[in-house]
Amino acid sequence: MTVRRGRAGRAGRAGGTVALAVTAAMTVTVTAGAFAAPALAAPPGHTDGPGEGHRATLRAMKAALNEDAPGVTVQAKDRHGPWNAAAGTGDLARHTPRGAHDHYRIGSITKTFVATVLLQLEAEGRLDLDDTVGKWLPGVVEGNGHDGDRITVRQILNHTSGIFDVTSDDEVQRKVFSEEFLEHRYDTWTAEQQIAIATSHKPDFAPGTAWKYSNTNYVVAGKLIERITGKPYAQEIKQRVIEPLGLHATSVPGTDPAMPKPGSRAYTKLSDAPDAKNHDVTELNPTVAGAAGGMISNSADLNRFYAALLRGGLLPAKQLAEMRTTVPKGDNRPGQRYGLGLEPFRTTCGTVVWGHGGDIHGSASGAGATADGRHALAVNFNGPGGEVQPVLDAEFCGKG
């Protein structure tokens, strides 16, 4: 899930906090080799072996740390193989370092998985991207100007539907993105409930006339998968993507609030007050994000996923081309574009990385790969204040 208001949902690439110097207490961990290699503690700034080619990335990781992003974990994978690294603090109470093989909540990176399943269904002839939502979910997206019979599946996936973003609702903001969240962190949010909240508001615009990021779109997308297949969207993601690719660290946790090991603690300030406390929000009911952002993974799995996707390992050429067909994000984001659960990120040296960002309580992530899938990067901060873009630029441009 990515949200645009509230400290808890502030995108990692938006920053807005003062960077702090990396102290000796912030241990840097670097490993190179197999995905399952154990994390090896190393002095700050130390690299060896294949890590020599990632010095700029390591510098950018360390520079991105701040009080709202105490730790960072990364995997880069290129022709030399995988390089795993971590910097900063994983547990503020115990003063333990961030792990190079941590599991973490991936937020809106979930959207690429959901879009992939719907495009697989299109390839199988079970739906068309230009089908209306009303055809499959009659009466579900209705009310206050919302009309599912005028919204297509394509518009759901590329955020041109105009459906109101459920995370912008005042009650949701209060329960999810303020101190009140601590009383509601284990609440279950159903897709029906979230869609009903969204459609209690007027749509942002007529379908197809503009672009605006809305988590409700992917809550609807999850319902579409369930209606078409007769199975939960989580089961379809597992059977169609997770199991075929061997993504052993990736899951759709449903209502389970726990995080698998290895992993670090996740932190968020739920207030903009100057003396706001950094809360440990590691445990939460993932249905607060659902199909829009509830998944868990690690950096190695995300790199494997995006590399396979962009190489054509998950979709036929026609559907992959559809996924990479983009629309502009609008006048307030000149040059930025969005596809079907996939977006191009342009680095400072011109290299384009296809992937997605993801933000949820205590977690800011980014993952993607070059169009040929040969160079991939996944990064996660255990707080909302980490800057993903400088790490991306450092890895693909050698600048840090």
Catalytic positions, please?
108
Cis peptide before 262 (omega within 30 of 0): yes
Residue for token digits 């409930």? 193
The SS3 call for residue 100 is coil
Question: How far apart are alpha carbons 279 and 271 in whole angstroms?
Answer: 10
What letter does residue 72 receive in the DSSP assignment?
A: E
Token reading at 205:
């615009």
Tell me the β-bridge partners of 367. Answer: 356, 378
Find out whether 119 and 323 touch, Cβ atoms under 8 Å: yes
Residue 220 near residue 163 (C-beta atoms within 8 A): yes
Tokens 């607060």: give the residue.
288
Contact 120, 240 (CB under 8 A): yes
349 within 8 A of 330, measured Cβ to Cβ: no
Contact 71, 87 (CB under 8 A): yes
Spatial neighbors of 227 by CB under 8 A, at least 6 apart, are: 136, 137
Which two tokens mark 235? 């089961």
Cβ(74)–Cβ(388) under 8 Å? no
Could you tell me which residues are beta bridge partners of residue 298?
103
Cα 283 to its chain centre, rounded Å, is 17
